[in-house]
Structure 1
Amino acid sequence: MAVDKKTSRSLAGIAGIVAVATLISKVFGLVREQAIAAAFGVGTVVNAYAYAYVIPGFLLILLGGINGPFHSALISVLAKRDKEQAAPLVETVTTLVSGILLLVSVGLVIWADVCIDLLAPGLSPEVRAIAIGQLQIMSPLALLAGLIGIGFGTLNAADQYWLPGISPLFSSLAVIIGLGVLFGVLGGQIDAPQYVQLGSMVLAGGTLIGAILQWIAQLFAQWKSGMGTLRLRFDWRIPGVMDVIRVMIPATLSSGMLHINVYTDLFFASFIENAAAAMRYANFIVLTPLGIISNMILVPLMPEFSRLASPENWPELKGRIRQGLLLTALSMLPLTAVFIALAFPIVRVIYERGAFQMSASQEVAPVLIAYGFGMFFYLARDVMVRVFYALGDGETPFRVSIFNIFLNGLLDFLFYKPFSTPGLVFATIGVNISSLVIFLWILNRRLRGLPLGEWTFALLQLTGISFIAGVVSWGISWIWQQTIGDDNLLLQLLELGLGMTVALGLFFLLAVRLKLPEVNLFLSRIGQKLGKRFRKSS
């Protein structure tokens, strides 16, 4: 953007800001999930909330998330325009989006029962009734999702990364405070007759209030940056509006098709007891580091992909694609080793308190193993999608997503009975693998050849190292349980800490020997960040 070039930051600086802000938000999110687990365990309220949140959450992630289509479309257009052109453009897009999403919010209130029945025909009457009420409470999230997404893109285009990264913590704080008030009002009696009904309303209401606070915080920063106000504009001829729409519509449809797979998973999960709650808890553990690292990788790389979109820059673009894939592997594969080898102690340490007992840990741990297996494929697919957006192509990801909807439904049908809840996760992993392979094949043709053999060999080497690290870490955890035990939280923390240290340390010790430039880049950035923190503290 021609706006304030003097304030532009390096890729490493942006990644650092995004990482710290996202980390803070994720920590609060983790505390929120722990509070929910302690309050409700794996049971009626959380199962109902998992379904009630599907559509509002889908819109919040799709439209309101960093790297979502609204965010990507606004950055790609605003980056090419001067600041004085930004406010009218943003206000016009906001007016159009708000009008559409307001109708969606009203529709969710009116047809909440229809939505829940379509999503989860296998729910019990009690869970169904609670889910309908929660969905009606959270229906305004549809409108807020669009406004938050526009705020993310606008602030990033104005070179502001801290507030967009940290603002999601408002949602977590609202839920945590709401549950605390509920606990105090009922005197800690989680078996009180009204506990389930009040708890379900507090969970949904806290989510809504948090989103409102997130939007308000972004709105003030947006005004201060001169990037638009709440003024209604209906002039679609303003330069750049149609450019935003041309990127936004196919990108939204493409990402939306991907999230339809979540609907498909939950449709089949409604026929498995407690499956939705188990998937929610396990998924959040994985999404905590995944969200931080994905923002570190995707936010700085998106402008670079766009800058190198011209054919004369394709050799450098190929290098950036390789960098994105290998940085994804270096960040995801060691975590895969950790989540597969140490799934049970991880779940116990994070969730096992209050209403969340050992039996709940035994339900969630296998699902966490499945999610851990698919971390690399999820983020690598996202890297490839951003390359297509940078090339001005939103149609290819959309078409691939349509194909994958049918593939996901087929895999869900084949896997959910023999493998229960983890089978639904493996179906999604199959979809991500399919997407990654198709995207690489298309880019190989479009960019006049990619060194796929070289990239594949490097990725296989890192995968082998991840396997070794996971086996050794699991062995150490097993020995600890047999000799010392894990009967209390302190022993569980020590076991987990030792296992994670061994897995991560062994992975990077072996990865350095591969002499890949991305390994040195990855470790040097970590060293720089740690060095800065050390100098600041001393």
Structure 2
Amino acid sequence: MSAHGKSIARNAAVVAGATLVSRILGFVRDIIVAFALGAGLFADAFFVAFRIPNLLRRLFGEGSLTMAFIPVYSRVLEEEGEEAARAMARSAMVWLAVILVGITVLVEILARPLTMAIAPGFLDNAVQFAVTVDLVRICFPYVIFICSVALCMGILNARNHFLAPALAPVALNIALIGAALFGYFFGFNVAYCMAWGVLAGGAAQWLLQQPFLTRAGFSWRGSWSWRNKGVARMGLLMLPTVFGAAVYQINILLGTLLASFLPVGSVSYLYYADRLVQFPLGVFGIAVSTAALPSLSRLAAKGELEEFDKALSASLGLTLFIALPAAAGLIGLAGPVIGLLFERGAFTAQAVVATAQALVAYSVGLPFIALARPLVAAFYALEDTRTPVKIAVLCLIANVGLGVWLMQPLAHVGLALAVSASSLLNFALLHVLLTRKRGTRLLPSGTVLKTGALSILIGWGAFTTAAWHPWWLLLIPVWVILYVVLALVLRLDEARLFVDVFRARVRRKAKGA
């Protein structure tokens, strides 16, 4: 594996470690929210209201903004120097603040028609619709904070710092946990308390980034311009990538719209199932693409395209090595995992079954969602935004069509399957077209075959032991170790790299202790 591939793996380990802490806390949050809020009217209203600014975070923040900012920032840093790169970042923040404040004012005014467009099925229940409108107005200003955090993330990642951005969600989780418990134990409406908690969490995430920016030598004080050429180039990249950078999130939003026509609780089943899929996707899958984008951007800026291909191939192999067994494990243990995490308080046994079904359907698409991220990052590093956008539009159409077709016989499970199918289509088209563009094989075939076979074995083992309470939980680390050992026996490069990075981090922690 190339030196750049190893660097990406080390940085991905940092992101994965920090994200793991955040996701574990996120599960604690979901357990508390499931207990305090359940899966009824107020829960559906909050999840729809929170999903709107969260979607914009994916679209304009961590999606198109970060992916458009890092390649341009890296090129400015390479060609014009440090001060020019700083001025470009400051200029981008000014433009971002002006645009986001304007959008927020419009949403506050137009909250009712926006809610009607996002969840038209709620119109049949006047109380649910009115509550959702209120929560949209409270939650939406969160987008100002979180998109600004995404710009901070771009600055830090481009400077090879990954820890602080990955830890940022911890602040949001703490705020939401505190808000849910406050509302529950003091007799306030939990949904409204959590909406205010979203705002507090956004502000906390922004504040968390500032000391790390200062240590990296960056300050918001200094020169900036309304006409900064780097920001103009970033804007040209960003506008067409709003859809291309966030196909999965748009699919989830459309699933919410369709789910609003299904029985009460359907939105919540999909939400909790998606949260579980996001755990391995966020900890490992997105961690690789997050670490890969700055490296790919620097290589593209320098014209080192052979190294670019090697780094991308390493990123895809490592992503597949982790995502396939994760999907197999979630499918095999869907019921027990949902029951362990959420079956208490207002979350009933029937909700467990319905959510587990959605989890299996989502998990089928997990590897394709994870693999698409490095491919999209590669297109953006090459400053090709048209191709991902065309693919994204096609996949959105496929998702809606499949969702409408499958929701009739399969209800919310059909919507989850539609997301997985459109994610497969998205990955396949991205991979084929980028392979043609670069003229070389990007996804290692040996890794595909060996990882696929091992994942089927691990998934089957997890499924057959799912009824062994509580042994199924204790066996999870056994399956992980068995998978890595067998991968080493089969001489998978990704397995050796995984072990080497793990050993290096253990040694560093031991020295620090």
Shift of 1:392: 1.2
Which of 349, 352, 368 pairs up with 1:358? 349
Instruction: Identify if the C-alpha distance between structure 1 residues 28 and 95 changes in structure 2 by more than 3 Å, giving closer, same or farther.
Output: same
Contiguous gaps of at least 5 residues in structure 2: 1-5
Deviations, residues 194-230 of structure 1 (Å, cap 9, x unaligned): x5xx212101110111001111222454356443427
Between 1:425-434 and 1:118-127, the stretch displaced more is 118-127
Deviations, residues 145-202 of structure 1 (Å, cap 9, x unaligned): 331211111222344322211122111111111122223323xxxxxxxx5xx21210
Deviations, residues 263-301 of structure 1 (Å, cap 9, x unaligned): 221111112221110111111112122111134311322
Structure 2 residue 72 is the aligned partner of structure 1 residue 77: yes
Cα separation, 1, equivalents of 2:306 and 2:66: 27
Deviations, residues 416-459 of structure 1 (Å, cap 9, x unaligned): 1222212111111111111111112212221124276xx34541
Deviations, residues 75-98 of structure 1 (Å, cap 9, x unaligned): 222223222223322221112121
Structure 2 residue 24 is the aligned partner of structure 1 residue 47: no
Deviations, residues 503-524 of structure 1 (Å, cap 9, x unaligned): 3234334333332322222232
Structure 2 residue 136 is the aligned partner of structure 1 residue 135: yes
Match of 1:503 in 2: 479
Cα separation, 2, equivalents of 1:98 and 1:13: 33
Cα separation, 2, equivalents of 1:201 and 1:22: 27
User: How many pairs were matched up?
Assistant: 501
Between 1:9-18 and 1:375-384, the stretch displaced more is 9-18
Structure 2 residue 255 is the aligned partner of structure 1 residue 265: yes
Instruction: Identify if the C-alpha distance between structure 1 residues 346 and 153 changes in structure 2 by more than 3 Å, giving closer, same or farther.
Output: same
Structure 2 residue 235 is the aligned partner of structure 1 residue 245: yes
Question: Given that residues 86 and 227 in structure 1 are in contact (C-alpha distance below 8 angstroms), is that contact kept between their aligned partners in structure 2?
Answer: no
Cα separation, 2, equivalents of 1:249 and 1:24: 33
Question: AA paired with 2:30?
Answer: E
Cα separation, 2, equivalents of 1:13 and 1:324: 11
Cα separation, 1, equivalents of 2:306 and 2:210: 40
Cα separation, 2, equivalents of 1:256 and 1:365: 25
Match of 1:189 in 2: none
Match of 2:423 in 1: 432
2:245 counterpart SS class: helix
Instruction: Identify if the C-alpha distance between structure 1 residues 20 and 508 changes in structure 2 by more than 3 Å, giving closer, same or farther.
Output: closer
Match of 2:449 in 1: 460
Which of 496, 501, 504 pairs up with 1:520? 496
Cα separation, 2, equivalents of 1:96 and 1:226: 22
Taking the TM superposition and a 5 Å limit, the aligned residue runs for 1:54-65 are 54-65=51-62
Instruction: Identify if the C-alpha distance between structure 1 residues 222 and 509 changes in structure 2 by more than 3 Å, giving closer, same or farther.
Output: closer
Question: Given that residues 130 and 200 in structure 1 are in contact (C-alpha distance below 8 angstroms), is that contact kept between their aligned partners in structure 2?
Answer: no
2:411 counterpart SS class: helix
Question: AA paired with 1:212?
Answer: A
Question: AA paired with 2:51?
Answer: V
Instruction: Identify if the C-alpha distance between structure 1 residues 232 and 58 changes in structure 2 by more than 3 Å, giving closer, same or farther.
Output: farther
Shift of 1:103: 1.4
Instruction: Identify if the C-alpha distance between structure 1 residues 25 and 232 changes in structure 2 by more than 3 Å, giving closer, same or farther.
Output: farther
Cα separation, 2, equivalents of 1:451 and 1:180: 48
Question: Given that residues 223 and 229 in structure 1 are in contact (C-alpha distance below 8 angstroms), is that contact kept between their aligned partners in structure 2?
Answer: no
Question: Given that residues 97 and 144 in structure 2 are in contact (C-alpha distance below 8 angstroms), is that contact kept between their aligned partners in structure 1?
Answer: yes
Instruction: Identify if the C-alpha distance between structure 1 residues 170 and 451 changes in structure 2 by more than 3 Å, giving closer, same or farther.
Output: closer
Match of 1:384 in 2: 375
Cα separation, 2, equivalents of 1:536 and 1:228: 30
Question: AA paired with 2:344?
Answer: R
Cα separation, 1, equivalents of 2:296 and 2:454: 29
Structure 2 residue 384 is the aligned partner of structure 1 residue 393: yes
Match of 2:403 in 1: 412
Cα separation, 1, equivalents of 2:131 and 2:297: 45
Question: AA paired with 1:31?
Answer: V
Cα separation, 2, equivalents of 1:12 and 1:448: 24
Cα separation, 2, equivalents of 1:173 and 1:318: 40
Instruction: Identify if the C-alpha distance between structure 1 residues 125 and 231 changes in structure 2 by more than 3 Å, giving closer, same or farther.
Output: farther
Instruction: Identify if the C-alpha distance between structure 1 residues 525 and 160 changes in structure 2 by more than 3 Å, giving closer, same or farther.
Output: closer
Cα separation, 2, equivalents of 1:47 and 1:232: 46
Taking the TM superposition and a 5 Å limit, the aligned residue runs for 1:137-286 are 137-186=138-187, 198-223=189-214, 225-229=216-220, 233-236=224-227, 238-256=228-246, 258-273=248-263, 274-286=265-277
Cα separation, 2, equivalents of 1:17 and 1:468: 29
2:300 counterpart SS class: coil
Structure 2 residue 480 is the aligned partner of structure 1 residue 470: no
Question: Given that residues 22 and 291 in structure 1 are in contact (C-alpha distance below 8 angstroms), is that contact kept between their aligned partners in structure 2?
Answer: yes
Instruction: Identify if the C-alpha distance between structure 1 residues 325 and 77 changes in structure 2 by more than 3 Å, giving closer, same or farther.
Output: same
Measured on the aligned residues, the alpha-carbon RMSD in Å equals 2.4
Question: AA paired with 2:422?
Answer: V
Instruction: Identify if the C-alpha distance between structure 1 residues 256 and 519 changes in structure 2 by more than 3 Å, giving closer, same or farther.
Output: closer
Question: Given that residues 64 and 152 in structure 1 are in contact (C-alpha distance below 8 angstroms), is that contact kept between their aligned partners in structure 2?
Answer: no
Question: Given that residues 95 and 232 in structure 1 are in contact (C-alpha distance below 8 angstroms), is that contact kept between their aligned partners in structure 2?
Answer: no
Cα separation, 1, equivalents of 2:194 and 2:172: 11
**More RCO (CA 8 Å, sep 6+):** 2
Between 1:68-77 and 1:379-388, the stretch displaced more is 68-77
Deviations, residues 361-383 of structure 1 (Å, cap 9, x unaligned): 11211111122221110010111
Question: AA paired with 1:244?
Answer: M
Instruction: Identify if the C-alpha distance between structure 1 residues 366 and 401 changes in structure 2 by more than 3 Å, giving closer, same or farther.
Output: same
Cα separation, 2, equivalents of 1:220 and 1:104: 28
Instruction: Identify if the C-alpha distance between structure 1 residues 128 and 290 changes in structure 2 by more than 3 Å, giving closer, same or farther.
Output: same
Question: Given that residues 248 and 369 in structure 2 are in contact (C-alpha distance below 8 angstroms), is that contact kept between their aligned partners in structure 1?
Answer: no
Cα separation, 2, equivalents of 1:451 and 1:378: 17
Question: Given that residues 83 and 227 in structure 1 are in contact (C-alpha distance below 8 angstroms), is that contact kept between their aligned partners in structure 2?
Answer: no
Deviations, residues 47-71 of structure 1 (Å, cap 9, x unaligned): 1112112221111223333xx3222
1:374 counterpart SS class: helix
Shift of 1:309: 3.3
Instruction: Identify if the C-alpha distance between structure 1 residues 37 and 146 changes in structure 2 by more than 3 Å, giving closer, same or farther.
Output: same
Match of 1:3 in 2: none
